Chain A
Amino acid sequence: MNLEEARKQFPHIEKGIIYLNHGSISPIPNVVRLGVDKYYQRRATSDIGMRPWTDDLAWETKSKVAAMLQTKPERLAFVHNTADGVSILSSGIEWQEGDRVLLYKYEYPANVYPYLLLKRKGVEIDYMDSKDHRITLDLIKSSVTPKTKLLALSVVQSVTGHRCDIEAIGKFCKEHNIIFALDAIQGLPQAKVDVEKAHVDFLAIAVHKWLMASEGTALIYISEKVQKMIYQISMGASSVDNQYSIFDYDMDRIRDDAGRYETGMLNYPGIAGLSASLDFQEQFGWDNIRNRVQENSSYLISRIKRHGVKVLTPEAEKERSGIVTCEIENPDQILDRLAKKMIVAKIVVAMGKRLLRFSPHFYTMEEELKRTMDIVFE
């Protein structure tokens, strides 16, 4: 599939919209809309009863995500959203009073509140901050304490676009017996995440941003090690094996795989949409997506810097991904000016500032970015 074909999936392009806000939410590609509708058609006529085809759909989709994360489908579970996913981990750990959790100061709240709730158990939260907005291994090393039990990080930060070196950090966490939890929503599929290599213990990802599917579908990855370590505070009809042996209520029947965290009915239409989106992206090619996203952010950074505007996103290729954020004067005026030309960017409020953020996806063309920059700096 070439770029021209891929772009046909996005009706907004034809209408002249330049959409540069995938860091918030992605437009729905035609294949996803069709995938969901086909699901509904089946649910209305030939296959009202769902199982087993919906089980197969969920399993196949997990397999696709597992391949992306270099893990097995058994280690994945579908959940409602990132916050629900993170809460499975945070609520399941046997916390001791005085345990500490390490977070970045401008971490997305889905990755903060589940831990903040632990304060009632006497858990302390430490926030890291750095002047250059880079979450390096050194910063982490200088922020951990002997009491640090868990480090939760976004693969790519939503405010700054900083991509952390998960392999180095994972290695460090492993050496220091710290649970390493990732929010990958701003990172997949365009930044490589190998959960084995990076010693990731837990990962949550919702699919409505860069994975280009719909709202209310998310997944968690949980390592066997962490699964054994945590309590499970939510359990339902689907958490057990042989679930049609309905009245043999027995906690020992709990599933061995991460499917135990899927308590009940899943959002199958959402999963059907994700499946269609993954097929589409795979056809275009994961490496192609990765390269194009990097090229797009590279172009933006160099254009913005040329105008002497401060870019918060690191310039080094491996420290960034799809998000480029800058500290520019009168961001609201610029946003309005862009909106008038049907260009969608985003203002994020953080660090006491109103920052202008661009997040183009693989299908965005340099030509579109050029037009955008021309308007920003007109």
Chain B
Amino acid sequence: MTIEEGRKQFPHTWTDMIYLNHAAISPLPFVVRDAVDKFMERRALKGIESYPWAQKIAMRTKELIADLIHSKPERIAFVLNTDDGINLLASGIEWKKGDRVLLYRYEYPANVYPYLNQKKLHGVEVDFMEPEDGRITVDVIKKHLTPETKLLSLSFVQFLTGYRSDLTAIGKLCKERNIIFAVDAIQGLPHSSINVEESQIDFLAAGSHKWLMGTDGTAFIYVSEKAQGLIRQSYMGAASVNDPFNFFDYNTDRIRNDASRYEGGTLNFPGITALNASLSFHKEFGFTEMEKRVLDHTAYLISRFKTQGVKVVTPEVASERAGIVSVEIEHPEEVLQRLLKKRIIVAVRGGKLRLSPHFYNTEDELRTAMNAIFE
């Protein structure tokens, strides 16, 4: 698939709109809209009773996800959103008073409240790292670890700064120190590669409405066997057990061995169908090519900002960034409004101007945006 073909999936690109806000939410590709409509059509006529065939779509989608993060479909479960996913872990661990959780000071709240809540419920202490340059390196983490640190939860790519963590180095450290390593991958997938095995990730959650270009209300978790062993789940339903249609033999020992034990009830099958369609589309385009394009885009943006003497918050090194570029520019809200008038969509987060192009954006579009910023 060429980039021209890829771009055809996005009707907004036929207009004068330049969309550079995929870190907030992605526009829906046609393939996704079509796939959901076909799902609904089937649910209206040929497959009203969706469970058998929709489960197959869910399984195929898990296979696509498992391929992407180098795991097995058995280790994946669908949840409503990232927050729900992280809460499964946070509320499932048997915390002891005085246990500590390590977080980054400017983490997205989905990755914070589940743990602050454990402070309230179980006396868990939350430590925040705040490195001056925003780089969450192994050294920074090491410095903040205490003997009581039980868990480190980290976004793969930070939504505010665009900093991409070295998951493999951090995972190694966590393993050595016997710390549960949880990753929020929403800002990193699918354009930045993750290998949960190699990086020794215990738990991962990602919603699908940003870079994955699925729809709102569909997310997934990866749970390692080790993490599953640590979680005492509080959420369970009809679908959590083997032989689920044997309804009335209520027995929690029938709980599934794989991660689908966390799928208590009827899943958001249309949303899963959407994710299936977008991942298939991405796969056809090629994840390696996608990563390259996204990195080229952010490299271009960084160099343009630097040329203009604007302070770039995002690291310049390719291995430390992904699709987000944040800058400290004067009057960011005014810039945002000025761009909006020209139908260029960016964001302001935490007082910083944030641009987040996806693979289908072109350098032409980026140039237009930068010219508009610095006109």
Question: Which chain A residues have a beta carbon within 8 Å of chain B's beta carbons?
Answer: 10-12, 15, 17, 19, 21, 24-30, 32-33, 36-37, 40-41, 43-45, 48-50, 54, 79-84, 86-87, 90-91, 105-106, 108-110, 112-114, 116-117, 119-120, 206, 208, 214-218, 231-240, 243, 246-247, 249, 251, 263-270, 344, 348-350
> Quick one: given A105-B248, A236-B113, are A117 and B234 in contact (CB under 8 Å)?
yes
Q: Find chain B residues with CB under 8 A from A43 CB.
A: 27-28, 215-216
How far, in Å, is B129 (CB) from chain A's closest CB?
A: 14
- Compute how far the CA of A246 lies from the CA of B44 in the bound complex, rounded to whole angstroms: 41
A84 vs B266: C-alpha distance when bound (angstroms):
10
Cross-chain contact B50 with A215 (CB below 8 angstroms): yes
Q: Which residues of A contact B247 (CB under 8 A)?
A: 106, 108-109, 348-350
Cβ contacts under 8 Å, A265 to chain B: 80-83, 207, 209, 216-217, 219
Is B12 on the interface with A (CB-CB < 8 A)?
A: yes
A116 touches B209 (CB 8 A): no
| Chain B residue at minimum C-beta to C-beta distance from A43 | B28
CB atoms of A11 and B45 under 8 A apart: yes
Residues of chain A contacted by B245 (CB below 8 angstroms): 349
> What are 15 inter-chain pairs, A to B, with CB distance below 8 A?
A33-B37, A40-B37, A40-B215, A44-B33, A54-B216, A83-B235, A216-B270, A216-B271, A234-B87, A236-B82, A240-B109, A247-B105, A264-B80, A264-B83, A269-B217
CB within 8 Å for A270 and B113 given contacts A33-B41, A45-B12, A237-B83: no
| Interface contact B40-A113, CB-CB below 8 Å | no
- Does B269 sit within 8 A of A, measured CB to CB? yes
Which residue of B28, B121, B207 contacts A40 across the interface (Cβ within 8 Å)?
B28
A231 to B87 Cα, complex, angstroms: 14
- Which residue of B is nearest A231, CB measured? B121
> CB-CB contacts of B1-29 with A at 8 A, as 1s and 0s?
00000000011100100010100111111
Contact A119 B252 (CB under 8 A): yes
What interface size band does chain B fall in? 35 or more
Q: How far is the CB of A202 from chain B (nearest CB, A)?
A: 15
Residue of B nearest to A88 (CB): B235
Q: Are B19 and A264 in contact (CB under 8 A)?
A: no
B110 and A264 contacting across the interface, CB-CB below 8 Å:
yes
> Please, how many angstroms separate the alpha-carbon atoms of A37 and B217 in the complex?
16
Partner of B265, one of A32, A110, A243: A110
B242 at the interface (CB under 8 A from A): no
Q: Closest Cβ of chain A: how far from B26's Cβ, in Å?
A: 8
B238 within 8 A of A: yes
Name the distance in Å between B218's Cβ and chain A's nearest Cβ.
7
- Which residue of chain B has the shortest Cβ distance to A42 in the bound complex? B28
Across the interface, which residues of A come within 8 angstroms of B241, CB to CB? 109, 113
- Residues of chain A contacted by B10 (CB below 8 angstroms): 44
Distance, CA A233 to CA B115, complexed state (A):
10
Closest to A348 in B: B247
Within 8 A of A (CB), among B218-266: 218-219, 232-241, 244-248, 250, 252, 264-266
Question: Given the known A-B contacts A33-B40, A87-B237, A216-B271, are A264 and B84 also in contact in the complex, defined by CB atoms under 8 Å?
Answer: yes
**CA A365 to CA B76, docked complex, whole Å:** 44
Q: Are B237 and A82 in contact (CB under 8 A)?
A: yes
Interface membership of B339, Cβ < 8 A: no
- Chain A nearest CB from B241 CB (Å) reads 8
Q: Check: B349 CB closer than 8 A to any chain A CB.
A: yes
Within 8 Å of chain A (Cβ to Cβ): is B117?
A: yes
Q: Among B27, B51, B112, B248, which residue has the most Cβ atoms of chain A within 10 A? A: B248
- Chain A minimum-CB-distance residue to B41: A33
A contact residues around B29 at 8 Å (CB): 44
A43–B238 CA distance with the chains assembled, in angstroms: 33
- Residues from chain B with a CB closer than 8 A to the CB of A50 are 25, 216
